[in-house]
């Protein structure tokens, strides 16, 4: 009897969760449509509310971040626009519209460009890891791992020549190493990056009365190194360190 009650309860919970997820999905679609209509009508504040509600209550996606970025741009909030273009690029890195708008935005924005000169190898690695999203890399790694195992099994079953098996495995393992390394580099490279939401001075120490080390404009990209109370230690692209109040940046 107890087992029966347990099974029935579990089924009820699963059905309820599925129904709840369906309601959330329908609500998200409705908000997305309303957000698009508000954007076309020029009501950008309402469009932002609808798009943000989907992220808060359901989940984010590349197209959603792209629409949100365009809306913030039209609303005049350049920092939030860049923030969401960056988020969209991580999810749909090869989308032509996202890349075009992002490049156009960067060409018009007067942002800090103090990157250290990069070698050809570094540029090639960055191009490789930026071509794929994290989820795409994981799927490719899973597929290559499966193929390595499959070739091993088929080679044993069909008694393929060892030279052939080794050659095929070497190709797959080489690709696997490239994508595993790329995945690791991508997660490290993208971790804790943030956009400055409004003009602020990076301090030498995490306190208001500390001397300002350098100035940051809205839209500047920094990397968060650590947090301390209401402050974050950041690093600019030229390597300069500083402290900012948490509220002036968003990761």
> What is the DSSP code (8-state) at residue 240?
-
**Confidence grade of residue 6 (pLDDT, cut at 50, 70, 90):** very low
d(CA 125, CA 121): 6
pTM: 0.83
33, 46 Cβ separation under 8 angstroms: no
DSSP 134-176: HHHHHHHHHHHHHHHHHHHHHHHHHT--HHHHHHHHHHHHHHH
Residue 153 CA: distances (Å) to CA of 93, 156, 158, 176, 183: 35, 5, 9, 18, 27
Say which range, 14-18, 201-205, 234-238, has the weakest mean pLDDT: 14-18
> Per residue in 66-111, pLDDT tens?
999 999 999 989 899 999 999 999 999 999 999 999 988 888 777 7
- Cβ atoms of 67 and 44 within 8 Å: the answer is no
pLDDT at 3: 33
Per cent of the chain over pLDDT 70 is 88
Of 28-32, 90-94, 161-165, least confident by mean pLDDT is 28-32
Residue 11, pLDDT above cutoff 80 = no
Mean pLDDT of the chain: 85
Evaluated on CA atoms 45, 47, 50, 55, the torsion sign reads negative
Radius of gyration of the chain (CA): 24
pLDDT band at 32 (very low <50, low <70, confident <90, very high): confident
- Residue 190, pLDDT score: 81
Ramachandran class of 48: left when φ > 0, alpha when ψ lies in -120 to 50, beta otherwise = alpha
Q: How confident is the model at residue 23 (pLDDT cuts 50, 70, 90)?
A: low
3-class state of residue 180 by DSSP: helix
Tens of pLDDT, residues 177-212: 999 999 999 988 888 899 999 898 899 999 889 899
Per-residue pLDDT tens over the stretch 101-154: 998 888 877 777 665 567 888 888 888 889 999 999 999 999 999 999 999 999
Share of the chain above pLDDT 90, in %: 43
């Amino acid at each position: 009897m107890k087992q029966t009650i347990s099974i029935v309860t579990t089924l009820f919970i699963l059905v309820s969760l599925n129904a709840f997820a369906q309601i959330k999905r329908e609500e998200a679609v409705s908000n997305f449509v309303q957000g698009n209509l508000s954007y076309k009508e020029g009501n950008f504040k309402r469009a932002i509310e609808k798009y943000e509600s989907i992220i808060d209550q359901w989940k984010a996606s590349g197209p959603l971040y792209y629409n949100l970025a365009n809306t913030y741009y039209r609303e005049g909030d350049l920092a939030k626009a860049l923030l969401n273009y960056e988020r969209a690029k991580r999810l749909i890195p090869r989308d032509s519209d996202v890349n075009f708008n992002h490049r156009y935005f960067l060409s018009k924005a007067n942002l800090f460009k103090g990157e250290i000169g990069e070698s050809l190898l570094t540029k090639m690695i960055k191009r490789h890891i930026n071509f794929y999203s994290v989820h795409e890399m994981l799927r490719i790694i899973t597929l290559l791992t499966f193929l390595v195992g499959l070739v091993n099994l088929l080679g044993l079953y069909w008694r393929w020549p060892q030279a052939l098996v080794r050659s095929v495995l070497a190709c797959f393992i080489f690709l696997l190493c490239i994508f595993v390394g790329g995945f690791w580099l991508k997660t490290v490279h993208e971790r804790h990056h943030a956009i400055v939401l409004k003009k602020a001075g990076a301090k030498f120490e995490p306190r208001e009365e500390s001397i300002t080390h350098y100035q940051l404009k809205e839209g500047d990209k920094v990397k968060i190194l650590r947090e301390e109370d209401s402050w974050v230690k950041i690093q600019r692209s030229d390597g300069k360190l500083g402290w900012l109040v948490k509220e002036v940046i968003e990761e």
